[in-house]
Structure 1
């Protein structure tokens, strides 16, 4: 006697197949530009400019010259971006977490007005602050200084950090903090020893967003930093030029973008679980 599939199983197979087909197509659509950029960084110049396009290069069409052409100075650019991004992220979290906890748990006068101002500032296009910041940096002599980037990046990301962390703090059971007060903890101790350890996913998620903004920011980095050894990756990539004014160095640009994106990919992969927890926290009650 042969087993025949049930009616429910036969009806559920087509939707499942369509689901996987959709997932594969979306993945290809999202990853195709990335794969094309990676392939371009390894192709020789003739394969890059060939018509029709060379989608799958042969071994003799591959080279590492584009990466080698970046030179050791590019490692300095990576260090500059990492220093500015990590510092601004840490300062943003160090200032934003206490501020968010204060707005979430402590009753202060004018709380709604403060929240409204923070929301307005977070929606304000930061590019419009460019000329004012430029005059301030010239006045205080912060040009060609890492602080010229760290301070604006922190200020721009701080409102969003406060709003996101405040929503997470509000979701925590208040009984935990009441128990801490019974045990003799003050507000600062409660924040450091009870609240923050429970909101690590939120801190990681917010920190990743802040870090990515600082890593990719271009306009401020282009204007406030002019010394070659202090450039960040976006500016360094934009300054890559060919042998003549009419040559576009596609290979070195692709190699530079791959090198500049790799630290972000590693960072996201390392904190992948925390990021997912931070995004999904509070989505389901109970």
Structure 2
């Protein structure tokens, strides 16, 4: 088979994969703009018979969604910031210092990241109630850090290992303190890795459902993925699907736009971290 024909087949395969990946998103958008009558129609259609924004107006009029949206943004941002800051210092120490058990520590960190979350929900539920942090922001931030930190440390340590020691030494020779050399030389050079780690951590916190549904009971800390399970129609006989899809569009589209805008930096960060280490 010629190279040109092979390239065409790869192009066709890529288009099919993209369409397959985008179909659930298009279906979600279609349902979000459909009136509730279209959902129970005897002749369903992919596109709405009449486009409406009432579903979005309905969800933003409910404290259940608006409060959950605030919780999601706040919890995800705080957990991401803490995870990136702590991971930077831990990864720098692992990459630069020699101490017994360093490889074992990295292996344990990766093992924690792969530990099943469902196994921790029961113990955390009892512990959090005893510590009076059940149904609070910190009650969700701590589990998110537990699972986000190991992967963040593993990823950032690969970036820090790529940065030559000589650059830090040169900064210190010029009069910089170790902290200044770290802040003004090492961190900017590892910016792609830091950015990638922050994005992955934010997505993990933003999309989590298990902890959010298990460790909350009211709107005070419940995030959007958990709040969607409590959506109801305007009446007992009305389907809540359009409202759930409208809320899903609100929380999904910004994430998609974020990825599209920063996709080059994300890819650069992932590939750079995989070159060495």
Distance 1:225 1:136 in 2: 13
TM-aligned CA deviation for residue 50 of structure 1: 3.3
TM-aligned CA deviation for residue 246 of structure 1: 6.6
Q: 1:200, 1:274 within 8 Å by CA — same for their partners in 2?
A: no
Q: TM-score, normalised by structure 2?
A: 0.90
2:230 corresponds to which of 211, 231, 239:
239
2:185 corresponds to which of 187, 194, 209:
194
Structure 2 counterpart SS, 1:230: coil
2:31 is matched with which residue? 40
1:255 is matched with which residue? 246
1:143 corresponds to which of 134, 150, 161:
134
120-129 vs 49-58, greater mean Cα deviation: 49-58
> In the superposition, relative to structure 1, how do residues 16 and 109 fare at CA in structure 2: closer, same or farther (>3 Å)?
closer
* Runs of at least 5 residues in structure 2 that lack an aligned partner in the other structure: none
> Is it true that 1:106 corresponds to 2:106 in the alignment?
no
> Is it true that 1:62 corresponds to 2:48 in the alignment?
no
Alignment of structure 1 residues 116-155 onto 2, 5 Å: 116-155=107-146
TM-aligned CA deviation for residue 92 of structure 1: 0.4
> Is it true that 1:50 corresponds to 2:41 in the alignment?
yes
Distance 1:57 1:221 in 2: 32
Aligned length: 274
TM-aligned CA deviation for residue 65 of structure 1: 1.6
**Larger Rg: 1 or 2?**
1
* Runs of at least 5 residues in structure 1 that lack an aligned partner in the other structure: 1-10
Q: 2:196, 2:270 within 8 Å by CA — same for their partners in 1?
A: yes
TM-aligned CA deviation for residue 66 of structure 1: 1.3
Structure 2 counterpart SS, 1:132: helix
Distance 1:111 1:20 in 2: 44
**CA deviation profile, 1:56-99 (whole Å, cap 9, x unmatched):** 334xx221121121133223321110000000000001111110
Q: 1:221, 1:235 within 8 Å by CA — same for their partners in 2?
A: yes
1:227 corresponds to which of 210, 218, 223:
218
